[in-house]
């Protein structure tokens, strides 16, 4: 009989996982404590922006294969496999991960399970959590019901979440049980049949694979951004530098884009939580380099604000058009977004900031209601003293500078993502400054 799955936590990760598992033929029940979210998902309406996901959600809520609930009792009676996809944000005022939601959801589903089942953690957690949670499951589960436990970290990228879930690069699972492995192999049979590597290991390795991957990616971005501080001073072309080192197969070109740095709900908090966890383990200096990675990253935001201030003399009363506030293109996620951070700082320094993002205005306005959010690029740039491209949506990468020329007050643009063609903008009479390039500032 086909396995029945639950996905607990229906945010960016959970909503995607639930819809993709339905697409693969499973009966799926999504569970969340947020009733509004559950109501919206039940109507087939996706409360987030993720390409391809609205179609899958509609298809499978209509077919009846995908349902949503706030009831753990319903989930406990339904599921053979329960995926945990709740948030693990940074604790307020600390670097460590807040495990409250994971602990609460694991305990709740272990208590609610009325049939033999498997709980599978997908959230990103500090190493050591899975072994502890396995103990919690043993304490909380009902007499006579066997609830097994495994860890299966998630590597999907927002903006590509559906493709990454249906066609992952690799699957990693940590467990100490052959039965758990057999069940997860059944869940992922489709990907495994297409030769997707399935790495079966212990709990600690599985947890560490996820944070190691994110620490590496963050380091790669800060590495090129540290070099961009050098080229901003001495001259040189940061893009050519990245292209040239990227041609070395040992290095690779991806994640070497200089700009205002990384953000989002994963990389920043994951590198901080990793440092916090290894310090707890007594390894204070082991991950200290990640402090530098974080600092280089945050300095890029300072640089963007400095460039704007210097170009405009003072920001007071100046009109700045901000293009993009999502932390990355093709997403509406503004958690720890460098673009939104820069926009808010420009506003705090007295600028009149007009923001246009194709998907993230609503989320950004919840966080910083005072910025002037507009629903079209042309409205944002009207009469602007300065245009700042801060998220590289293709709509911005493909702007024709000639079209904006008559609309703005001053033809100057800061390319915070290193995606614009200098020759094209200069030929249209614009002053263009890209982060990582030397300027007279």
Which residues sit in the known binding site for NAD(+)?
32, 37, 88, 124, 158, 269, 335
- Which one of the spans 83-91, 140-148, 236-244, 303-311 is the region binding ligand NAD (CB under 6 A)? 83-91
Shorter beta-carbon distance to ligand NAD: residue 309 or 333: 333
CA gap 215, 274 in Å, rounded: 8
CA gap 5, 22 in Å, rounded: 9
Burial bucket for residue 247 (CB in 10 Å: 0-12, 13-18, 19+): exposed
The answer to the question of residue 418 lying near ligand NAD (CB under 6 A) is no
- Which one of the spans 82-90, 133-141, 143-151, 408-416 is the region binding ligand NAD (CB under 6 A)? 82-90
Q: Which of 119, 266, 326, 390 is catalytic?
A: 266
Phi/psi at 243 (5° precision): -60, -45
> 67: number of CA atoms within 13 Å, CB side?
12
Between 262 and 291, how does the x/- string for binding to ligand NAD read (CB under 6 A)?
---xx-------------------------
CA gap 80, 379 in Å, rounded: 52
| The one among 11, 52, 128, 236 contacting ligand NAD by CB under 6 A | 11
| Secondary structure class of 281 (helix, strand, coil) | coil
Sheet with strand 198-201: strands edge to edge: 66-69, 27-31, 4-8, 81-84, 117-121, 147-151, 171-174, 198-201
The answer to the question of residue 83 lying near ligand NAD (CB under 6 A) is no
The answer to the question of residue 33 lying near ligand NAD (CB under 6 A) is yes
Shorter beta-carbon distance to ligand NAD: residue 151 or 368: 151
- Among 302, 306, 315, 299, residue whose Cα is nearest residue 386: 315
- Among 381, 413, 265, 270, residue whose Cα is nearest residue 331: 265
Count Cβ atoms below 10 Å from residue 414 Cβ, excluding itself. 26
- Which one of the spans 29-37, 130-138, 250-258, 304-312 is the region binding ligand NAD (CB under 6 A)? 29-37
The answer to the question of residue 154 lying near ligand NAD (CB under 6 A) is yes
Least distance to ligand NAD from the beta carbon of 12, Å?
4
The answer to the question of residue 158 lying near ligand NAD (CB under 6 A) is yes
> Contacts with ligand NAD: how many residues (CB under 6 A)?
26
| The one among 30, 76, 79, 87 contacting ligand NAD by CB under 6 A | 87
| The one among 42, 52, 98, 101 contacting ligand NAD by CB under 6 A | 101
Count Cβ atoms below 10 Å from residue 55 Cβ, excluding itself. 13
Tell me if residue 266 is catalytic: yes
Least distance to ligand NAD from the beta carbon of 220, Å?
17
> 240: number of CA atoms within 13 Å, CB side?
5
- Among 226, 224, 206, 384, residue whose Cα is nearest residue 296: 226
Phi/psi at 15 (5° precision): -60, -40
The answer to the question of residue 34 lying near ligand NAD (CB under 6 A) is yes
- Which one of the spans 11-19, 225-233, 254-262, 318-326 is the region binding ligand NAD (CB under 6 A)? 11-19
Count Cβ atoms below 10 Å from residue 6 Cβ, excluding itself. 30
Q: Classify strands 386-389 and 319-323 as parallel, antiparallel or unpaired.
A: parallel
Q: Scanning residues 350 to 379, which ones bind ligand NAD (CB under 6 A)?
A: none
As annotated, the active-site residues are: 266
Residues near ligand NAD (CB under 6 A) are 8-14, 31-34, 37, 85-88, 101, 104-105, 123-124, 154, 156, 158, 265-266
């Amino acid at each position: 009989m086909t396995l029945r799955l639950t996905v607990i936590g229906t945010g960016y990760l959970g909503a995607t996982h639930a819809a993709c598992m339905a697409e693969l033929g499973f009966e799926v029940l999504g569970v969340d404590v947020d009733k509004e979210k559950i109501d919206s998902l039940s109507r087939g309406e996706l409360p987030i922006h993720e390409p391809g996901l609205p179609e899958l959600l509609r298809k499978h809520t209509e077919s009846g294969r995908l349902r949503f609930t706030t009831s753990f009792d319903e989930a406990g009676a339904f599921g053979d496999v329960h995926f945990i996809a709740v948030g693990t944000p940074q604790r307020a005022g600390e670097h460590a991960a807040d495990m409250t939601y994971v602990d609460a959801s694991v305990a709740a589903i272990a208590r609610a399970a009325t049939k033999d089942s498997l709980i599978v953690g997908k959230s990103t957690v500090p190493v050591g959590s899975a072994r502890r949670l396995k103990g919690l499951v043993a304490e909380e589960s009902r007499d006579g019901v066997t609830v097994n436990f495994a860890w299966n970290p998630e590597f999907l990228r927002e903006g590509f979440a559906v493709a990454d879930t249906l066609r992952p690069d690799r699957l990693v699972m940590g467990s100490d049980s052959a039965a758990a492995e057999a069940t997860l192999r059944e869940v992922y049979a489709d990907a495994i049949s297409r030769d997707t590597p399935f790495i079966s290991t212990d709990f600690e390795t599985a947890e560490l694979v996820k944070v190691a991957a994110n620490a590496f990616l963050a380091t790669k971005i800060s590495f090129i951004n540290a070099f961009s501080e050098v080229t901003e001073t001495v001259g040189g072309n940061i893009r050519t530098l990245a292209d040239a080192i990227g041609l070395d197969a040992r290095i690779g070109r991806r994640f070497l884009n200089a700009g205002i740095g990384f953000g989002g709900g994963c990389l920043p908090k994951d590198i901080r939580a990793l440092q916090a966890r290894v310090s707890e383990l007594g390894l204070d200096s082991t991950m200290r380099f990640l402090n530098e990675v974080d600092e280089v990253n945050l300095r890029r935001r300072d640089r963007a604000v400095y460039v704007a201030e210097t170009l405009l003399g003072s920001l007071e009363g100046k009109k700045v058009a901000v293009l993009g506030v999502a932390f990355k293109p093709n997403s509406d996620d503004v958690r720890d977004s460098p673009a939104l951070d820069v926009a808010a700082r420009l506003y705090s320094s007295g600028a009149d900031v007009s923001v246009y993002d194709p998907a993230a205005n609503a989320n950004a306005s919840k966080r910083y209601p005072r910025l002037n959010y507009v629903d079209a690029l042309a409205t944002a740039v009207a009469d602007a003293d300065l245009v700042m491209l801060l998220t590289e949506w293709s709509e911005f990468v493909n702007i024709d500078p000639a079209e904006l020329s008559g609309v703005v007050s001053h033809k100057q643009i800061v390319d915070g993502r290193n995606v614009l063609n200098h020759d094209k903008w200069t030929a249209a009479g614009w002053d263009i400054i890209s982060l990582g390039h030397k300027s007279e500032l």
